[in-house]
Chains A and B, each alone.
Chain A
């Protein structure tokens, strides 16, 4: 598509966005963090509500007290002026004690939440699966036959994530398929991610589904999620990684188990294969303006590990100077329209 041709229709394009103004005023749909669709994101949201609730009690008290005092004791009123009121042990105990107690309570909840949302082993997912299993037991006779506690979770889907400058590569190691800039996962199934970067640090973030985790070169981090509702979700890098960072988005499609199976079969027949050489081509600096997805079959086994090891051995995918110094349009890099 020719991007330059739009300038004459510019006014019209902008006018379309105006209804959004009204929309954002009366709906919280746009507030992605308030509508978590995954157990981990939900746990994070709930502890946020709790924290804000407890903190507001103190912050509002302090704010209201200040407002009342500012109003009551403003100069012309000359009410109950007492410059000797500078010390009160009772108040001192309160002003140290109340924050201390609050921090104590919050610390307890924070500690719980850290384990619930620990990216390497989120208890929120285990808990979610147990609840789901118990629900299944209550409604269906088939469920009643199984004791809920011992039900093992569904077999998790493994996804290896590699970020390059500036794209996302999702490898499904058990199925030897890979998908560029598009993540497809089944609903209600735990997804285990292993993440690394071929170049600089990125941050893996799908606001409605899972919190951020750093993606670091020469290192491996982990993340886990379970999604409660099928749909299409936005994911992107949250940590600045250079010129193509703003376009570093990927689509997350959450589908039913059947759809997921069909998708993997389709992917297995993709024309492209992913070897070391192909990967090096992908990893060369590329700005992906249209978030174009690509499918790969026959992924070289152990590619993730290979990428990590090679970066550890000193492999870099250098950014050309022409690109960093030139303030005009990015040159010296591939741009995918």
Chain B
């Protein structure tokens, strides 16, 4: 032990003791019961349907980019739900704990959450939503769509792709463990320094946060590398840079941001780990440490991370708007340029996250103006989408509704963002709920776009549509909730309300807090409809099947192949003739999906190593958090061994013969039919692969 730890430690269980399991807390008990019952129901269902083998072969060990994309998105949606529950809890606490006479429940002085419990909830909310909900959902969409859009058979590194996903899942698992074993960080998703240092956070909460983010971050870095390699090296013949769909352009920009920014976070967290585990003084207030160094490091990653998630969202809007306007995207070249420009600006604005640190006016002015520059390419995007609508034939289907609302949120978020870019204005609203409302406008823009992207591409991947009526209801309540929560929140910011309060000392804020609670109620209804939409759509999938282009007016290359997408994506790699290839083929009467010849297809083999590495990483993180050294040693040794063993596996690919492909392709109907033969729990692509594994 290099540091002084409060509380006991023993070699066998480290800092872990029975008392660390908060079973006496009614809220944690409730959450635990919910998770356990939910898990039991799902596991029983899987066992009764005898799906374990199928799950293991087709999903857990898969290296197929579409399935990994689906798993990413699913993980993100589950985490989105947990982050949402955190949000409900916070809003409810703030409504209950107003003024010195407000009642207290469950042992809390006011409201029903004690200060540290509230601290953990807001920290978990931020960490979950940004790193384990929005990021995986967008990663999932990029994973599933980008190879299709550039005309590739898979990602450049399919095995690495699976590994990236399982590391992200490992980080998410650590976050779930933190809910039931020990506690989570109370120092925010950004790790407020020096609150995260050992004297001020003596428990394991910060360690949980640190390792979860660290492990998840490695996964995201790997995913970024993969997407860059795929877009740069795997484009189909004819897919020049000038023909690359905008979503792929944003995926490329975002991944460049990802690989350049995430290592900074990894370094910052590693140094913080040294402080907490070895007693160094990188970021402490005393002994020569510099806490603002951490803040700088964090935001040198943290700000690009914001664009890391916003760029794919812009990409989704740029795909959805032309499809439902029945018109090509206006100003393609400038849209691509704007994406790259936003990625570029993302590196030079990080200081605006701490204008209040007391830097000189010159520094603040520089970063303030740099932050405003981001508004230029963003403004270009806004106007280009608007001109895409001009002289179009606009249909309001649910992806379009999500996209248009995202556009509206971008206007609000842009307006308030331009306010926060003024250091002088930032001083008055820096840590207020005005800022919270601003970044929620931006992140909800991403959320709207992501949900729109899911409803837009879901039919592509699975071959059947999501229920439109329920989708519209989900959208309506989601939009209503957004309005009702965040308009009052902006107003509260002008009233001077600051963020992260678990007790409200100023009763004049109560009416607007009640309004926010009503908005949260609307969100709850929306969550119900989203869940119902998935349930009903999967139940009635036979009725909403289609073979190719579900929207009828889709434009980019991914719609050229069948829906659900065969596991080899394209029987013959397409030759790209135009910017909007599918639209071009439609208008030139060559929209047949059936090629004139077939060829052998070289495909990657499934591997269990990624999921094993993910599990070992979870154990490693758990051991590090509780300082159980035998466990960390064993897990680390296991990771090294697994990597070495994998390095000696030669049999990593197989060949699908041309005859096989031809036989498979007969299963697909070329003209949009009413029904395809494939029918399975999650769509036809699955069943085809089960049936046609190599001997």
Interaction A to B:
yes
Residues of chain A at the chain B interface (Cβ within 8 Å)? 3, 6-7, 10, 13, 17, 20-21, 23-25, 30-34, 41, 43-45, 47-48, 51-52, 55-56, 58-59, 62-63, 65-66, 69-70, 73-75, 78, 80-83, 85-88, 91-92, 94-96, 98-100, 102-103, 106-107, 109-111, 113-120, 165, 197, 199-201, 203, 205, 207-208, 211-214, 216-219, 221-222, 234, 236-247, 249, 289-291, 311-321, 323-330
Scoring B residues 190 to 232 as 1 if CB is less than 8 Å from chain A, else 0, what string do you get?
0011110001111101000000000000000000000000000
Q: Which of B420-475 contact A (CB under 8 A)?
A: 421-432
Report chain A residues within 8 Å CB of B38: none
A residues less than 8 Å from B427 (CB atoms): 44, 117, 119, 211-213
B677 within 8 A of A: no
Closest to A317 in B: B199
Question: Which B residues lie within 8 Å of A7 (CB)?
Answer: 103
Of the candidates A92, A200, A315, the one whose C-beta lies within 8 Å of that of B331 is: A92
B88 in the interface (beta carbon within 8 A): no
Known contacts being A17-B99, A86-B331, A205-B431, is A234 close to B424, with CB within 8 Å?
A: no
The reply to whether B200 and A103 form a contact with Cβ atoms under 8 Å apart is no
Tell me which residues across on chain B come within 8 A of A25, comparing CB atoms: 511
Interfacial chain B residues near A119, Cβ < 8 Å: 358, 427
Interface CB pairs A-B, < 8 A, 25: A3-B109, A6-B101, A44-B427, A48-B424, A59-B411, A86-B328, A86-B330, A95-B380, A113-B425, A114-B364, A117-B423, A118-B361, A203-B430, A207-B495, A211-B428, A219-B285, A219-B292, A240-B499, A246-B502, A311-B286, A314-B287, A324-B116, A326-B114, A328-B108, A330-B114
B356 within 8 A of A: yes
As a 0/1 sequence over residues 314 to 330 of chain B, the CB contacts with chain A under 8 angstroms (1 = contact) are: 00000000000111111
Contacts of A30 in B (CB 8 A): 495, 508-509
Closest 7 CB pairs of A and B: A211-B427, A207-B496, A99-B379, A113-B424, A217-B285, A238-B431, A314-B286
Q: Is the CB of A212 within 8 A of B431?
A: yes
Q: Which residues on A sit within 8 Å (CB–CB) of B372?
A: 103, 106-107, 110
**Cβ–Cβ < 8 Å partners of B331 in chain A:** 86-87, 91-92, 95
In the bound assembly, the distance between CA atoms of A136 and B656 in angstroms comes to 92
Q: Which chain B residue shows the least CB distance to A43?
A: B424
Whether B115 pairs with A330 at a CB distance below 8 angstroms is yes
Whether A324 lies near B205 (C-beta < 8 A) is yes
Q: Cβ of B495 and Cβ of A31 under 8 Å apart?
A: yes
Q: Which residues of A contact B365 (CB under 8 A)?
A: 110-111, 114-115
Contacts of B22 in A (CB 8 A): 327
Nearest residue, chain B, Cβ from A40: B427
**Which residue of A214, A240, A319 is within 8 Å of B202 (Cβ)?**
A319
Question: Please, how many angstroms separate the alpha-carbon atoms of A44 and B426 in the complex?
Answer: 9
Q: Is there an interface contact between B6 and A320, defined as CB atoms closer than 8 Å?
A: yes
Contact B109 A329 (CB under 8 A): yes
Tell me, in angstroms, the Cα distance from A317 to B200 when the chains sit together.
8
Question: For A82, what are the chain B residues with a Cβ–Cβ distance below 8 Å?
Answer: 327, 391
Which residues of A lie under 8 Å from residue B327 when comparing CB positions? 82-83, 85-86
B69 at the interface (CB under 8 A from A): no
Inter-chain CA distance A85–B510, complex, in Å, is 51
With A201-B193, A214-B357 known, 10 other A-B pairs at CB within 8 A are A66-B389, A73-B392, A91-B387, A102-B379, A120-B358, A201-B194, A205-B496, A212-B427, A324-B203, A327-B116
Nearest CB in chain A to that of B19: its residue: A325
Chain A residues near B99 (CB-CB < 8 A):
17
Cα distance A211–B407 in the bound complex, in angstroms? 31
- A residues within 8 A CB of B20? 325
Nearest opposing residue in chain B for A9, CB measure: B101
Q: Within the complex, which residue of B108, B386, B514 is in contact with A69, where a contact is CB–CB below 8 Å?
A: B386
B369 touches A110 (CB 8 A): yes
Q: Which residue of A lies closest to B381 (CB)?
A: A95
Contact status A51-B419, CB under 8 Å? yes
Task: Give the residues from 502 to 541 in chain B that come closer than 8 angstroms, CB to CB, to chain A.
Answer: 502-512, 514
Pair B194/A17 contact, Cβ less than 8 Å: no
Residues in B with CB closer than 8 Å to A43 are: 424
Which chain B residues border A216 with CB–CB below 8 Å? 285, 291-292, 357
A144 CB → nearest B CB, Å: 35
Contact between B383 and A81 (Cβ–Cβ < 8 Å)? no
Q: Which of A23, A87, A103, A317 has the most CB of B within 10 A?
A: A103
Chain B 68-109 interface mask (CB, 8 Å, partner A; 1/0) = 000000000000000000000000000000111111000111
- A73-B394 contact, Cβ under 8 Å, with A20-B511, A59-B414: yes
Q: Which residues of B contact A51 (CB under 8 A)?
A: 418-419, 422, 425
A115 to chain B: which residues have CB within 8 Å? 361, 365
On chain B, the residues within 8 Å of A98 by CB distance are 379
Q: Is the CB of B356 within 8 A of A55?
A: no
**A-contact 0/1 string along B359-387, CB 8 Å cutoff:** 01100110011001101101110111111
Residues of A contacting B654 in the complex (Cβ-Cβ under 8 angstroms): none
Asked if B195 and A200 sit within 8 Å, CB to CB, the answer is: yes
Q: Does B566 interact with chain A (Cβ within 8 Å)?
A: no
Decide yes or no whether B154 CB sits under 8 A from chain A. Answer: no
Residues of the A chain whose Cβ atoms lie less than 8 Å from the Cβ of B500: 240, 245
Instruction: Specify which chain A residues have a CB less than 8 angstroms from the CB of B7 in the assembled complex.
Output: 321
Residues of chain B within 8 A of A323, CB atoms compared:
116
A44 touches B286 (CB 8 A): no
A196 to chain B, nearest CB (A): 10
Cβ-neighbour of A201 out of B115, B291, B384, B390 (below 8 A) = B291
**Chain A residue at smallest Cβ distance from B326:** A83
* Contact, CB under 8 Å: B496 / A324: no
Q: Is B643 an interface residue (CB 8 A)?
A: no
Chain B residues in 8 Å Cβ range of A234: 496, 505-506
Question: B373 contacts which chain A residues (CB < 8 A)?
Answer: 103
Q: Are B498 and A238 in contact (CB under 8 A)?
A: yes
B residues in contact with A241, CB < 8 Å: 192, 195
Q: A96 to B386: give the CA distance in the assembly, Å.
A: 14
Contacts of B358 in A (CB 8 A): 119-120, 213-214, 221-222
Query: Inside 8 A of A66's CB, which chain B residues have their CB?
Result: 385-386, 389, 404, 407
Q: How far, in angstroms, from A205 to B182 measured CA to CA in the complex?
A: 34
Assembled-state Cα–Cα distance A30/B117 (Å): 30
What A residues does B502 contact at CB under 8 A? 245-246
Q: Pick from A32, A75, A319: contact of B393, CB below 8 A.
A: A75
Residues of A near B187 (CB, < 8 A) are 240
